[in-house]
Chains A and B, each alone.
Chain A
Amino acid sequence: MGRSGEPLGRYTIAVGAHLLLIAAWQIFVVYGHVPKFVMPTPIETVGALFGDNYRWGTNILATATEIFGGYFLAVAVGVGLALAFSWSRPLEAAFMPVLVSLNMIPKVALGPLVIVWFSYGIVPNMVIAFSICFFPVVLTTARGLREVEPDLLDLVRSLKGSRWQIFTKIQLPGALPYIFSGMKVAAILAVAGAVVGEFLGSDKGLGYLMLQVQVTLDTPAMFMAVLLITLIGVALYGMVLALEHALVVRDARIE
């Protein structure tokens, strides 16, 4: 009984701990007489959802577009470039060191420049999210494509297998866990990238909204915005995780 009930038990404990945290938050604010502009209660935070002038829908849509757009663009370009590297050694030899150097730049520091180049709005924020996601994807994918057992290559070569066969049957499926590992790291970074973009200059989005309500010390709305940003990130991460579970055998996954 106990053993088979264990996973459910752990799940219950986890949910309980979260509820407890929310309850502790409510009690702390109410009995500690914390002013609302410093920290609202959870109930006040949810109450912000029903305010008239926050335009939650539009702002969520804007931020989600930036996050998802920048993210999927980064995955597509990153994986594509890594594939190109695996097909051309000179290309990899020339560009990989450049990428590693560029990766040293704190991408957020490029924000003001991106706004100079792309004006402000959804596109520049997408570009910032892209630039921050791109590197982990390209670097881990390239590494995954490089990690092929030499003996396995011998096995295929002894059967006069083509390079395409090596690629489709061994290299690419073998790299999949690495690609997902990069995608998971990038999913978390994408959210930060988009929101920083909105802080720097934007006319919609949850980050933009936070700056607007900050002026009037509307802390409940700020809390709600942070919560929604987090939820968008969780949704993206969850999607990637679900895709990984569908495509990568348990044993091969990189945590």
Chain B
Amino acid sequence: MKPAMIQPFIHLANLRKAYRKRGSEYLAISDASFDVGAGELVSLVGPSGCGKTTLLKVLAGLLDYDSGTVQIGSPSHPFDPARDVGMVFQQALLLKWRRILENVLLPAEILGLPLGESRERARYLLALVGLSQSEDKYPYELSGGMQQRAAIARALVHDPKLVLMDEPFGALDALTREKMNLELLRIWKESGKTIVFVTHGISEAVFLGTRVVVFTAGPARMADNFEIDLGAVRSLDMKTHERFGDYTRRIYKLLGME
């Protein structure tokens, strides 16, 4: 038994969230329950419109929910909702008028962290994501993959305990995406963050996750939640392993694609 599971970092129970618009109700999440241990990388996988992004926004404290429990933080890993969330989106959304280093510093500025230290940390993170040479460049001078690396550095600059990623590699080409998957695993191990990773890529979800939570659409509901036992060190050739195939088949089945 993992100690992290005794004291989950994120505890979700019977979460329900509906959007209401002019009398009609649209159910975004019907009933989601799962726990995430500190330092885990959880993949939320499912088709568009299954409520993954809504769930991420609830975790980020950006959306209210209708009923259920959302607890983030544990005695060993206290969580401050005002400063312990880092976010990465499908688009890098770097500020066009700022150089890369200044882009990475944005969360530190918003939180009013000491700028000298933050600058040091930003440089360290840019090195971590492989962008040391680009700190003085403008976003348009970087490729899509490099911009997304900068966005990841930005999400880590204020040293948040929880990093929320909403299809961060969805806009990249297939090869860059595979490369970024490996990079993310490396960054995750080195930083020790808890990451919630939303994707509609089934293979990506299995490859990255220590755990996969599967959502289905119409009506939105949580269909499964299981651990991925592929070991701590993952390499691309794992995708050809039998067990990898078992996991992806299990998800395809849940999504009614088999």
Contact = CB atoms under 8 A, between A and B. Distances in A.
Interface of A: 149, 151-152, 154-161, 165, 169-170, 173-174, 176, 248-252
Interface of B: 57, 60-62, 81-83, 85, 87, 89, 91, 93, 95-97, 106-107, 109-111, 138-140, 158, 164, 166
Contacts of B106: 155, 169
Given A155-B106, A158-B87, A159-B83, 17 more contacts: A149-B93, A151-B89, A154-B57, A154-B60, A155-B89, A155-B93, A155-B107, A157-B62, A158-B164, A159-B107, A170-B95, A174-B97, A248-B97, A249-B97, A249-B138, A250-B140, A251-B138
Question: Nearest 10 A-B pairs (CB), nearest first?
Answer: A251-B140, A161-B110, A252-B96, A160-B82, A158-B60, A151-B89, A158-B85, A249-B97, A159-B110, A155-B87
A173 B87 contact: no
B97 A149 contact: no
Nearest to B59: A158
The winner among A157, A159, A250 for most chain B CB atoms within 10 A is A159
Majority secondary structure, A binding face: helix
Contacts of A251: 96, 138-140
A159 B85 contact: yes
Contact of B97 (A152, A156, A160, A173): A173
A67 to B, nearest CB: 29
19 contacts: A151-B91, A151-B166, A154-B57, A155-B87, A156-B110, A158-B61, A158-B62, A158-B85, A158-B164, A159-B110, A159-B158, A173-B95, A173-B97, A176-B97, A248-B97, A249-B96, A249-B140, A251-B96, A251-B138
B57 to A, nearest CB: 7
A165 B107 CA distance: 11
A98 to B, nearest CB: 28
Contacts of A159: 82-83, 85, 107, 110-111, 158
Given A249-B138, A250-B140, A165 B96 contact: no
B85 to A, nearest CB: 5
B115 to A, nearest CB: 14
Contacts, number: 62
A155 B82 CA distance: 11
Contacts of B57: 154
Nearest to A157: B62
B85 A149 contact: no
Nearest to A252: B96
Contact of B87 (A154, A165, A170): A154
B106 to A, nearest CB: 7
Contacts of B158: 159
A154 B139 contact: no
Contacts of B87: 151, 154-155, 158
B113 to A, nearest CB: 10
Nearest to A153: B62
A168 to B, nearest CB: 10
A254 B148 CA distance: 24
B110 A165 contact: yes
A249 B94 CA distance: 13
A161 B83 CA distance: 10
A170 B91 CA distance: 16
A247 to B, nearest CB: 9
A220 to B, nearest CB: 48
B6 to A, nearest CB: 28
Contacts of A248: 97
A88 to B, nearest CB: 23
A211 B248 CA distance: 83
Contacts of B110: 156, 159, 161, 165, 169
Contacts of A158: 60-62, 85, 87, 164
B120 to A, nearest CB: 20
A154 B62 contact: yes
Most buried by A among B87, B138, B166: B87
A176 B89 CA distance: 24
B147 to A, nearest CB: 12
A158 B89 CA distance: 13
A242 B119 CA distance: 31
